[in-house]
Amino acid sequence: MENSNAQDQVTVISRTGFAYFPIALMARLPFAMVVIGVLTLVVSARGSVELGGFASASVGLGVACCGPLLGAAADRFGQRPMLLLAGAVNAVLLGVLAWVAFSTLPMWAVFFSAFLVGASVPQISPMSRARLVGIISSQLPAARRSRSLSSTFAYESAADEVIFVFGPVTVGLLATAFGAWAPVIGAGVLTLIFVTAFALHPTGAKAQVEEGTVTYVAPVSQLWRPTLLLTVIGILAVGMFFGSMLTSLTAFMQDRGDAEQAGLIYGVMGVGSAIFAVGVAWLSPKFTLRARWLVFALLIFGGALFLQTAHDLPRMILALAVMGIGIGPLLVTLYSFGAHRTPAGRGATVMAMLGTGIMVGQSFTAAVAGVVAEHVSTQASLLLPLLAATIAVAAGVVNWFLTPAGPEPELG
């Protein structure tokens, strides 16, 4: 009985400590700065928006190729050694990229350097989610796991929203104050400090397998289950939305002579998204995950449709506000699906797959939106967020038929 009462007092914060959350928040800031920072760097150094977009896409390609492998390495060897190695390598490569961009080396060297940066990016968000899911599934009472999971993913998604808003703002401030090289170098410095702190936090050790124990790890083939792959497609659509929306909004504001205000206007969506993401924790369990996916994706789709009529700033702000209601809760829902559909012993791998989906979608659509805005029109680039929303809705419809009715099974 005493043991049961003690377990009832266990909370996520009691297991992580209060310092964990600000460390994890700052450690993910470089991740949010890299895509826009590389774009800014290459545009300034090589004088071409197109080349800058392709460099950003090279970062995304690197993440796509190696992000899930880093997650698998974390599952195999523990998060701490993987993060310490990746953080050190990534910080050095960011400095190399800054030098190569302003050198006389050909563009393929810039693209290759950008690819290596993406390949070595320490994916803090997936690692943090994997740690917290592990704590919830192994140390909290079964009756509290579902709500704790929802609350945790709500916080994590809100944190991502804040970082994805302040990442571009930080890039803009550093570039304005010191030059186009500063955001990339700044990301490297932040990586060394905060990724190292995140790796050395006690939860990094807890995420590893205790010596002498044998833990079942599901075969790699289980990562290719249709329901899990569908979740990755859904989160890829969210990344596509982020990248295309920020780039097309920048073009929209540039047409009005206020390109530097794009980050602030983008914040209208980001702030609303973070608020509604936190609110997901209070939704009724009767509002199932498969229903939430469809409802929130349709909200984004509706806002993206209205976006096509945004020929002035007030309409743009209204469209962003509507889409913000759906994007944060959809992220929470998709990560919840990812946690429930994770094969045994593959938590970091799955969270890395989802984090990679966001980064890849953001990188490639940012590049495509830049090319479309420059060579076709800003209005044409605004169709890309609508395309991303359409993919999210379509994936939600398929998920509806693949997911049994009722709530997802409990973790653990």
What digits encode the pLDDT tens for the residues 121-141? Answer: 887 887 887 788 888 877 777
Share the mean pLDDT of the chain. Answer: 81
Q: Name, in order, each residue with C-beta under 8 angstroms of 372's C-beta and a sequence gap of 6 or more.
A: 380, 381, 384
* pTM > 0.75: no
- What is the average pLDDT across 34-44? 80
pLDDT tens-digit profile of 309-318? 988 889 999 9
Among 8-17, 41-50, 87-96, 189-198, the minimum mean pLDDT is found in 8-17
pLDDT tens-digit profile of 332-362? 888 888 877 777 666 667 777 887 788 788 8
Query: By the 8 A CB rule, do 6 and 159 touch?
Result: no
Above pLDDT 90, what percent of the chain? 27
Q: Three-state DSSP class for 329?
A: helix
**Higher per-residue confidence, 373 vs 262:** 373
Q: Looking at residue 349, what is its pLDDT?
A: 73
Dist CA 410 CA 65 (whole Å): 32
Q: Looking at residue 299, what is its pLDDT?
A: 94
Q: Looking at residue 294, what is its pLDDT?
A: 94
Per-residue confidence band for 15, with pLDDT thresholds at 50, 70 and 90: confident
pLDDT tens-digit profile of 57-79? 888 888 878 877 887 788 778 88
Query: Does the pLDDT value for residue 366 go beyond 70?
Result: yes
Highest mean pLDDT range out of 240-254, 314-328, 385-399? 385-399
**Higher per-residue confidence, 252 vs 411:** 252
Q: Looking at residue 117, what is its pLDDT?
A: 94
Dist CA 236 CA 388 (whole Å): 9
Closest to 30 (Cα-Cα) out of 151, 141, 186, 261: 186
Q: Looking at residue 345, what is its pLDDT?
A: 66
pLDDT tens-digit profile of 179-237? 888 888 999 999 999 999 999 988 877 544 444 444 556 666 667 788 888 999 999 99
**Higher per-residue confidence, 410 vs 392:** 392
**Higher per-residue confidence, 12 vs 105:** 105
Q: Looking at residue 111, what is its pLDDT?
A: 94
Query: Does the pLDDT value for residue 42 go beyond 50?
Result: yes
Dist CA 97 CA 114 (whole Å): 7
Q: How long, in residues, is the chain?
A: 412
CATH of 17-208+218-402 given 3.40.50.970, 1.10.286.10, 3.40.190.10, 1.20.1250.20: 1.20.1250.20
Domain ranges (residues) in the chain: 17-208+218-402
Q: Looking at residue 49, what is its pLDDT?
A: 65
- What is the average pLDDT across 243-264? 76
**Higher per-residue confidence, 88 vs 178:** 88
CB atoms within 10 A of CB 129: 27
